[in-house]
Amino acid sequence: MRQRRIPTIVGLLAISAGGLLLALPELGGGLLPRVVATLLTVGVGAAAVVLAARELFDSDDPELRLPTPESRPPYRVPGAAFAERLDRISTVGRRAVDDADEWDGPRERTPRERVYASLHELAVDVLGRTDGDRPGAAADRLADGAWTDDEAAAAFFADGLCPPLPRRASLPLVRPELPVVRRARHAVAELAERLAADAPDPDSRPAPVETVGDGESADEYWPTADLPRTRSTGRTRRVAVAVLLASAGGVVMGVPGAVLTAAFGVALAGAARVREPTADIELTRTLEPRTPSPGSTVEVTVTVRNVGETTVPDLRLLDGVPAGLSVRSGSPRLTTALRPGTERSFSYTLTAVPGTHAFESPFVIAGDFAGARETVRTVAVTGGQDSLACGFERRSDDAGAPREQATQMPGQQKAGVTGSGVEFDSLRAYRPGDPASRIDWHHRAKTGDLATVEFQEPRRPRVAVVVDARRAAYVAATPGDVPAPRHGASAAYSIADRLLDDGIPVGVGTVGAGDCWLPTTTGEAHREAVRTHLASESAVPWTPPSKPTQIGDAVDDLTARLNPDVQVVVVSPLCDDDGVALVRQLEGAGHSVSVVSPDCTDPSTVAGAYAHLARESRLSTLRGHDIPVRDWDPATPLGEVQAHAASV
């Protein structure tokens, strides 16, 4: 403040002296005032220009980082990596492939070589499954092009990586599609057709790939780190530059009008100093309905009330839509001006998806009258609801007939040891102390020796449901759709709910996101804990974890928590090879593993079809290792079969 006082005093003195001189012009006569006046004008003018230059190169306050409440954080689409690789195929790679000779030593593979390698592997796998070809025979058929009628698809594997280029390709600024890319697309479409998937149209050129969420761009959903703060919009700085330049220029060039315009600038800059931009407001939010069913519409109404003493001239508000919900209609943003005591409401609708969604604190930006400064902060909602619960209900369809439960109670798993039980296992010589009820009297009558019957001991199985929430597992059919781990959380809950109904102890854990682990046990309190954890963001958040997960470490963590006899149900989209590695390593650690895999691929595009094929290939790899895999389309409710998959 002290720094501002001196120039203010100087300004007041100068304006008083100037006014005096204007009123009494005879005071300014004579030689001395003339010299002083010239020096003063030149000096102040030069100082004004220097100050203006300094202001000009000064930087603005950092830009506001505002969230996008309308949509979920964007997720990767399965096959995005393949699409990107196709995009990166260029004539440069062609030269690199041409120039390659054995003297160069190892070099980095070009995009077209990588596409070839991954497609070749996939094609061998697909031919093996559809036609029963052995890998060698499949590779031969690919090499001679006999596997398909589509010439372009056949040529991709048969004619090498550098097909003749169209003439246009050598023109500058023209980027026609390279033949190798077209052939790769045809090959994917042909393979997809073989597996009876909805084959994509190979001749539709894909739109350029948007790189979504490959790390850097995946910001925090609700960035509140540097709030609250007051920032300048940068206007006062620009006004100051204009005033300094206009007045200095006007005096030097003798244009009084230019100097007069400085009055506008002083007025604009001065008004910004009059009052701090503040907003004393109160927020209320209502949700209708409060517990919607998945896919239905929820209407959100937010009311803003000015509870302060002064008018809020410029208020901007972003409601804190939970990360898992997306806006269907309307806008969760509001601008308004509020007199004291008045209020304003706005509403928008959301599409409900399963989960317990907690609303964030809304962003409030309050500007001043002149629009020179603004205060940014979050304001907690004081009235109404701040979370929305959808789905994750207890199964009510079949409440299990009592008789069925009676047979299930002894347990469905053989313990591998013998003793008392129901099912006959073997006969052994009597040992003193054996219970009399287990002596085989028929045997005694026949042979005269005492013998004891051994039964198979039943044991209750124990199950751990593990949701794959690694960074790579956060894929969705479209970038704004529900990501696979959230589908996984729904599936995990319905599996756990079913098993708990059967009296089987269930534990729940995640791989990747956070460190959620609920030990294997039973009971209503446990069921509620499972529901709370899986429905809310605490176990499987809506934003992907920032770091990739090391599969080895994750498996070590899990095996340290699980007894070897605990069966594991892994819920994973299997959209990368690490998902398969996770399942295989758990199996290797001695657990009996089964897999439920939500299918988040969209085979209607070439890249999506590639991801679909690669996922099918992973599923068949797992099935080849005798691991039961349930392929689940998240659009349909998870049937009862999954629960059985757990206890097989």
Partner 1 sequence: MPRASDRDRPSASGLPRFSAGVSAISVLTVVGLVATDPASLAFAAIGGLAVGVGLLRRSEFALTSGVSGLFVAVLQAGANGSPEWVLGATVPIVLAWVTARHALRLGAQVGSAAPTLRVELVHTVSVVVLLTAGGGIGYLIYRSVTGTPSPLALGLLLLAVVAFTVSLR
Binding positions for partner 1, 19-38, rule CB under 8 A: 19, 21-22, 25, 27-29, 33-34, 36-38
Yes or no: say if 231 and 64 are a contact pair by the CB < 8 Å rule: yes
Yes or no: say if 644 and 501 are a contact pair by the CB < 8 Å rule: no
Per CB under 8 A, contacts with partner 1 among 34-63 are 34, 36-38, 40-41, 44-45, 47-48, 51, 55
Per CB under 8 A, contacts with partner 1 among 140-159 are none
Q: How far apart are CA 359 and CA 375, in angstroms?
A: 22
Number of residues that bind partner 1 (CB under 8 A): 92
Q: With 0-12 CB in 10 A as exposed, 13-18 as middle and 19+ as buried, what is 188?
A: buried
Identity of the residue, 326 or 522, whose beta carbon is nearer to partner 1 in the bound complex: 326
| Residue 412 in tokens | 């469905």
Q: How far apart are CA 347 and CA 329, in angstroms?
A: 9
CB of 482 to partner 1, least distance (A): 11
Beta bridge partners of residue 229, listed in sequence order? 376
Yes or no: say if 161 and 113 are a contact pair by the CB < 8 Å rule: yes
CB of 61 to partner 1, least distance (A): 12
Which residues are CB-contacts of 616 (< 8 A; sequence separation ≥ 6)?
Answer: 195, 197
Q: CB neighbours (10 Å) of residue 211? A: 15
Q: Which member of 233, 494, 536, 647 binds partner 1 (CB under 8 A)?
A: 233
- 545-566 burial, b at 16+ Cβ within 10 Å, e below that, comes to beeebebeebbeebbeebeeeb
Per CB under 8 A, contacts with partner 1 among 533-572 are none
Q: How far apart are CA 77 and CA 644, in angstroms?
A: 30
Per CB under 8 A, contacts with partner 1 among 64-83 are 64, 66, 68, 70-71, 74
Beta bridge partners of residue 593, listed in sequence order? 568
Q: Which member of 316, 443, 561, 644 binds partner 1 (CB under 8 A)?
A: 316
CB of 487 to partner 1, least distance (A): 14
Q: Which member of 89, 262, 518, 583 binds partner 1 (CB under 8 A)?
A: 262
Identity of the residue, 234 or 628, whose beta carbon is nearer to partner 1 in the bound complex: 234
How many helices and strands in the chain, by DSSP H and E? 18, 20
CB of 143 to partner 1, least distance (A): 39
Q: How far apart are CA 207 and CA 349, in angstroms?
A: 30
Identity of the residue, 7 or 164, whose beta carbon is nearer to partner 1 in the bound complex: 7
CB of 544 to partner 1, least distance (A): 17
Half-sphere exposure of 230 (CA within 13 A, CB side): 11
* H or E stretch at 281: strand 281-288
Q: How far apart are CA 221 and CA 40, in angstroms?
A: 56
Identity of the residue, 255 or 307, whose beta carbon is nearer to partner 1 in the bound complex: 255
CB of 47 to partner 1, least distance (A): 7
Q: Which member of 158, 195, 251, 439 binds partner 1 (CB under 8 A)?
A: 251
Q: Could you tell me which stretch among 176-184, 186-194, 265-273, 490-498 binds partner 1 (CB under 8 A)? A: 265-273
475 binds partner 1 (CB under 8 A): no
Sheet strand arrangement including 312-320 = 229-232, 373-378, 360-367, 312-320, 333-338
| Residue 503 in tokens | 């009296």
User: Where does 111-157 show beta strands of DSSP type E?
Assistant: none
Per CB under 8 A, contacts with partner 1 among 515-534 are none
Identity of the residue, 20 or 92, whose beta carbon is nearer to partner 1 in the bound complex: 20
Identity of the residue, 4 or 442, whose beta carbon is nearer to partner 1 in the bound complex: 4
CB of 66 to partner 1, least distance (A): 6
CB of 271 to partner 1, least distance (A): 5
CB of 249 to partner 1, least distance (A): 8
Q: Which member of 190, 481, 502, 578 binds partner 1 (CB under 8 A)?
A: 481
Amino acid at 5: R
DSSP per-residue string spanning 56-125: HHSPPPPPP----TTSPPP-BPTTHHHHHHHHH--HHHHHHHHH--GGG-S-PPPHHHHHHHHHHHHHHH
Report the interhelical angle of 256-274 vs 235-253 (nearest 10°): 160
Measured in residues, the chain has a length of 648
Per CB under 8 A, contacts with partner 1 among 328-347 are 330-331, 333-337, 346
* H or E stretch at 390: strand 387-390
* H or E stretch at 328: strand 326-329
CB of 362 to partner 1, least distance (A): 13
CB of 360 to partner 1, least distance (A): 17
360 binds partner 1 (CB under 8 A): no
- Closest listed residue to residue 434, CA positions, set 412, 449, 445: 449
Q: How far apart are CA 267 and CA 260, in angstroms?
A: 12
Q: Which member of 92, 214, 264, 447 binds partner 1 (CB under 8 A)?
A: 264
Q: Could you tell me which stretch among 247-255, 411-419, 554-562, 639-647 binds partner 1 (CB under 8 A)? A: 247-255
Q: Which member of 120, 129, 235, 625 binds partner 1 (CB under 8 A)?
A: 235
Q: Which member of 93, 202, 213, 479 binds partner 1 (CB under 8 A)?
A: 479
CB of 372 to partner 1, least distance (A): 10
Per CB under 8 A, contacts with partner 1 among 423-452 are none
Identity of the residue, 301 or 336, whose beta carbon is nearer to partner 1 in the bound complex: 336
CB of 212 to partner 1, least distance (A): 9
Identity of the residue, 189 or 262, whose beta carbon is nearer to partner 1 in the bound complex: 262
- Closest listed residue to residue 467, CA positions, set 507, 520, 519, 522: 507
Site string for partner 1, 163-202 (x = CB under 8 A): ----------------------------------------
- 317-334 burial, b at 16+ Cβ within 10 Å, e below that, comes to bbbbbbbbbbbeeeebbb
Identity of the residue, 45 or 411, whose beta carbon is nearer to partner 1 in the bound complex: 45
DSSP letter at 196 equals: T
Per CB under 8 A, contacts with partner 1 among 268-307 are 268-273
208 binds partner 1 (CB under 8 A): no
Q: CB neighbours (10 Å) of residue 50? A: 12
227 binds partner 1 (CB under 8 A): no
